[in-house]
Structure 1
Amino acid sequence: PVYPDTPPTYQYQYAVADDYAGLNFGANEGRDGYATSGEYSVALPDGRIQTVKYTVSDAQSGFVADVTYSGEAKYETYKPAPSPPAYRPAPLAYKPAPPPPPAYKPAK
């Protein structure tokens, strides 16, 4: 079979905003032949939003991205990890433990 060589054309977008899980991100993109443009954003752990806007004009121009940040970075105060507990081996017995009594009736 012979398939026609048609240039790709599409658009999509999605977004997630879940305050309970702390998720906030999304993206959208459109393409018509080689010409592609879109953007995506994500909430960073420091509280800022990173947004990337990108374009591809034709087969030779390549991927061109513009990255921006909004908001102010907030960092928690450093707290050193607690020290691990000290290891001490169990004390040694001064004599061996006696054997346990038999759990059966001895033969006569």
Structure 2
Amino acid sequence: MFSQILCFTLIVAVVIAQDHGHAFSSNHISRHDGHHQTVHGHDHGHDHLDYYTHPKYEFEYKVEDHHTGDKKSQHEQRDGDVVVGGFYLNQPDGSDRHVDYHADDHSGFHADVKYSTHHLHHHH
């Protein structure tokens, strides 16, 4: 999953940089690998060892293309079983969608979705 996110953000950055002179993108990824822990398991009558590392990371990216109007960003951080993040998207109708989300093993996934519209003023 981590490598897919990294690959996606790099592809978006390269495409935008090549196709549009007035666009920019940015991304930041930090991965914090912990020490591996040995986990003893029992599967189909056989004992086995697994290795578990405490998952911890954070990433963010932003794309803003004034030529196409494509504007979006996302940020997320994970520490163990707790994931907190959000994203912003300028939708095709001109409205903005802001989503903040939180997930953990205790309460599951919750998202707060807000929409805002920009009022256009016409001058005669």
* Bigger fraction of residues in helix: 2
Gaps in structure 2 of 5+ consecutive residues:
1-48
TM-score for the superposition, normalised by structure 1? 0.60
Gaps in structure 1 of 5+ consecutive residues:
75-108
Distance in 1 (alpha carbons) for counterparts of 2:119 and 2:61: 25
Q: Which amino acid is 1:23 matched to?
A: D
Distance in 2 (alpha carbons) for counterparts of 1:44 and 1:11: 25
TM superposition outliers: structure 1 runs of 4+ over 4 Å: none
Structure 2 match to 1:14 = 61
**Aligned 8 A contact 1:10 1:32 in 2:** yes
* Bigger fraction of residues in strand: 2
Q: How does 1:30-45 map to 2 (within 5 A)?
A: 30-45=77-92
Structure 2 match to 1:79 = none
Total equivalences in the alignment: 73
**Aligned 8 A contact 1:46 1:73 in 2:** no
CA pair 22-34 structure 1, distance change in 2 beyond 3 A: same
Q: Which amino acid is 2:60 matched to?
A: Q
Structure 2 match to 1:51 = 98
Q: Which amino acid is 1:64 matched to?
A: H
Does residue 61 in structure 1 map to residue 107 in structure 2?
yes
Structure 2 match to 1:95 = none
* CA positional deviation for 1:73: 6.8
* CA positional deviation for 1:21: 1.5
